[in-house]
Structure 1
Amino acid sequence: MKHGVMPMAEAQAQRLDALRIDRSAHSRRRHGRRWLPWGALAVVLALVVATLVVGGAPSVRVAEVREARPGEQQTELSAAGFVASRRRSVIAPQVAGRLVEVAVDEGDAVKEGQVLARLDDRDARVMAARARAEIQAARQRLLAARATATRARNDLARAERLARAQVITRASLEESQALAQASSAEELAASAQLTAARRAAEAAQLQLSHTVVRAPFPGTVVRKLADEGAVLAPAALEQENIGGIVELVDLGALEVEAEVSEEQLPRIEVGQPALIFLDAYPDQAFAGKVRSVRPAIDRSKATADVNVQFDEIPPGALPDMGSRVAFLKEELPPEALTKKDGALRVPASAVVRSEGQSVVWVVRDGRLKRQPVRVAEKVGDEVALAQGPRPGTQVVVSPDNRLRTGRKVKVLTEGG
């Protein structure tokens, strides 16, 4: 009996073990799920750190080291400006009307008195014809009044002879005198009416001539402001360019308007020699002289306009070109205009003091390098370097304390 009972007990125990839940496997799965959120968070943090490391490069503005332009050793001061013309005008009609023809296009050179445009002149022609007819009518009235006055004067002379012969009464004589005076007044009135008619005809003819718009001076059409069909009105003083047809510029009267700070004005005088550098032709220098200093200060900028005329206007110069003017201590010989003195120039804000010496931060391959320089002198908003990076090297303008040697930086382009 004992041997029969034991196999039965073992079978029951095995069945119970099969029904028991394995807690260790469940615990392992639960601990695995618990670590999943922390692992994902670690990955996200790693990505954020990597992004900050990559995008954390500071942005810097740079300027290129350049060679000194001709005459910079003799430069008293320099100023920025732009090319302008002493004769520049928006051409508008003197009378209102509909534009029927524009006879020129942008870029056309025109002579003084050349036709630029025409307005609809039908109304003006009708008024001119009417004025001419009024002249004819006034002339006929004058002829009639003159004939009446002549007859009245003859009648008065006869009446005076008869009165002396006591053939007619005193009353008849006075009547003839009154008629003669009235007819003379009528003649004078008719003559005045003829004069008024002639003046009216002149005015009507002038109005007719204003429908043809002509160039007031020789120049070049730089802008076309209206096309055929536009209804124009004379330009109002408080509304610039209203009713304009074309903009005309005399390219033979070009000069440079430079802005000079008020504290620098005592260093400039009329007739002072200058060099003009156009942004469009940076490697060329053009001789000039100070023509005038405008006697007014721009309160918002604390500057005054100085007009510098070219000795010879360079081919290709156009209004509104950017330029820079170097005001010289003395006039340069012609050969000096093409000669460079070899000195280097950088913006004054690019040179800073670091560890007891003057340095600039050079950008090469997107990374910074500190380079010592030797400053010769300050010229305007630049400094001349006796020793420094070679021309064309990019240096940081107005560097801050974040910059370190070898640090990667992002160079800001123009407008960036």
Structure 2
Amino acid sequence: MKKYLLILAAILLAAGTAALFFLKRTPEINYKTARVERGAIIAAVSATGNLSAVITVQVGTQVSGTIQKLYVDYNSRVKKGQPIAEIDPSLFRAAVEQADGNYRNAEANLMKARVTLADAERTMKRNNKLLADGIISQSDYDVAETAWQSAKTGIKAAAGSVVQTRGALMQARTNLNYSVIRSPVDGTVISRAVDVGQTVAASFQTPTLFTIAQDLTKMQIEVSVDEADISRITLGQPTSFNVDSYPEQSFKGKVVQIRSAPIITQNVVTYIVVVNVDNSDLKLKPGMTANVSIEVARRDNVLKLPPAALRFKPKTRESAAKGARPAQPEAGKGQRRDKGQRVYILKENKPVPVMVKTGISDAGSIELTGGGLKEGDEVIVEQVGGDAKKKSGGSPMGPRF
């Protein structure tokens, strides 16, 4: 029995010694590298917005009443001047008849006033001769002259009444015309807010009955750009965007307006940038959310450096014990980097620093503008083994037993 116990103790001692040696052994250090390549880099500003027609007209009514007929519905194509709805015209026709009667009566009164004036004028002339012959007295002549002047005043009053009633007649006819609601533009009906039998009231604010998009083949996106990026936006910059309805397709546009009025939401300042979009195939619809990328800088046929190369700093046991110098912060996406930065290449399986100068960047590459690298060089982007695992939480003093 003692023999077996001794053998087991020997085996356990050997296993413990081997495990201790294995754990204390310095792991082999390997490095992952990436190649410096040549290509295009596009710096962009990302923003979101909603699609809308370039010109959208809200159609209302200038008179009150009950909707009697509807001639169009959603997505109906309309022409300028085409009837799209009609309000019950009964009251408006009655108002026209009444105004027309008043106008005719005023015209008759004007004609009557003219006859009265002509009679008064004849009487005054006749009395003027009789006064000269001494047949009538001056007071009789004065009465005739007063009647003539009164008849002249009556002409002006009657003429004014004619103008007034004619205006009322024109207003009644206009209101009758307004009972038929017509499209002000050529376009497509994108919304309808009324049904037959519904009463609309045109009081202080004209109600919106229809919304008509003038031309859905030309659309625009109003995107909100952060104040930190607005200085990089200029007119004419190309844009690309996608919508949730077509996630695999990218659409093109162009910046046509940069509005100066700020929009402040919870102390965040943004500015509206308008992007024009061609929608000849009518795939895009008003209201769709667009994820827009505005191209602010572009470099073609330049050397490209992976961003991970700038973040990499070699970790050794000595540097871990002394405290490695923190990596330099990477500049913001698309920003220029004019100061020299350090990357590492492998020589004899050891990282060697190389100073480089960088320019603009996109999501996956940084422009290499100067330094000791050329196309095809391999730069270190990650350390595998050695003390690399300790960065994720291991103690620099080694494992505990």
TM-score normalised over the length of structure 2: 0.62
**Aligned match for 1:278, one of 242, 245, 254:** 242
Would you tell me which structure has more helix in proportion to its own residues?
1
> Is the contact between residue 233 and residue 296 of structure 2 (CA under 8 Å) also seen in structure 1?
no
Task: State yes or no: 1:378 paired with 2:333.
Answer: yes
Cα distance in 1 between the residues matched to 2:40 and 2:148: 90
Superposed displacement of residue 181, structure 1: 0.6
**Aligned match for 1:183, one of 140, 146, 151:** 151
Distance 1:267-1:149 versus aligned 2 partners, 3 A rule: same
Cα distance in 1 between the residues matched to 2:77 and 2:249: 26
Deviation string 1:67-112 (CA, Å, 9 cap, x unpaired) is xxxx983444232222112322332221221111111011111111
Counterpart of 2:225 in structure 1 is: 260
Superposed displacement of residue 379, structure 1: 4.6
**Aligned match for 1:307, one of 274, 297, 300:** 274
Cα distance in 1 between the residues matched to 2:141 and 2:204: 63
Q: Structure 2: which 5+ residue stretches go unaligned?
A: 1-38, 316-329, 336-360, 367-391, 394-401
**Aligned match for 2:112, one of 127, 144, 150:** 144
Superposed displacement of residue 244, structure 1: 3.2
> SS of 1:383's equivalent?
coil
Counterpart of 2:262 in structure 1 is: 297
> SS of 1:95's equivalent?
coil
Superposed displacement of residue 131, structure 1: 0.5
**Aligned match for 1:131, one of 67, 79, 99:** 99
Cα distance in 1 between the residues matched to 2:186 and 2:176: 23
Counterpart of 1:25 in structure 2 is: none
Task: State yes or no: 1:94 paired with 2:62.
Answer: yes
Cα distance in 2 between the residues matched to 1:312 and 1:90: 21
**Aligned match for 1:172, one of 123, 140, 145:** 140
Deviation string 1:150-205 (CA, Å, 9 cap, x unpaired) is 11112212222332333322112211110001111111111111111100001111
Counterpart of 2:23 in structure 1 is: none
**Aligned match for 2:75, one of 107, 128, 138:** 107
- Cα RMSD over matched residues? 3.7
> SS of 1:290's equivalent?
strand
The amino acid across from 1:324 in the alignment is N
Task: State yes or no: 1:326 paired with 2:289.
Answer: no
Cα distance in 1 between the residues matched to 2:199 and 2:118: 54
Q: Aligned pairs, how many?
A: 285
The equivalences for 1:113-124 within 5 A come to: 113-124=81-92
The amino acid across from 2:143 in the alignment is E
Cα distance in 1 between the residues matched to 2:237 and 2:130: 93
Identity of aligned residues (%): 24
TM-score normalised over the length of structure 1: 0.60
Cα distance in 2 between the residues matched to 1:234 and 1:163: 65
Cα distance in 2 between the residues matched to 1:235 and 1:223: 22
Distance 1:314-1:326 versus aligned 2 partners, 3 A rule: farther
Cα distance in 1 between the residues matched to 2:49 and 2:127: 88
The amino acid across from 1:276 in the alignment is S
Cα distance in 2 between the residues matched to 1:261 and 1:273: 17
Would you tell me which structure has more strand in proportion to its own residues?
2
Q: Structure 1: which 5+ residue stretches go unaligned?
A: 1-70, 358-374, 387-402, 405-416
Distance 1:154-1:311 versus aligned 2 partners, 3 A rule: same
The equivalences for 1:191-230 within 5 A come to: 191-230=159-198
The amino acid across from 1:263 in the alignment is A
> SS of 1:105's equivalent?
coil
Deviation string 1:7-55 (CA, Å, 9 cap, x unpaired) is xxxxxxxxxxxxxxxxxxxxxxxxxxxxxxxxxxxxxxxxxxxxxxxxx
> Is the contact between residue 376 and residue 384 of structure 1 (CA under 8 Å) also seen in structure 2?
no
Cα distance in 2 between the residues matched to 1:146 and 1:331: 85
Cα distance in 2 between the residues matched to 1:203 and 1:130: 12
Cα distance in 2 between the residues matched to 1:278 and 1:85: 17
Counterpart of 1:361 in structure 2 is: none
Q: Which moved more, 1:145-154 or 1:253-262?
A: 253-262
Superposed displacement of residue 376, structure 1: 11
> Is the contact between residue 120 and residue 211 of structure 1 (CA under 8 Å) also seen in structure 2?
yes
Distance 1:165-1:253 versus aligned 2 partners, 3 A rule: farther
Computing the radius of gyration from Cα coordinates, the structure with the larger value is: 1
> Is the contact between residue 274 and residue 325 of structure 1 (CA under 8 Å) also seen in structure 2?
no
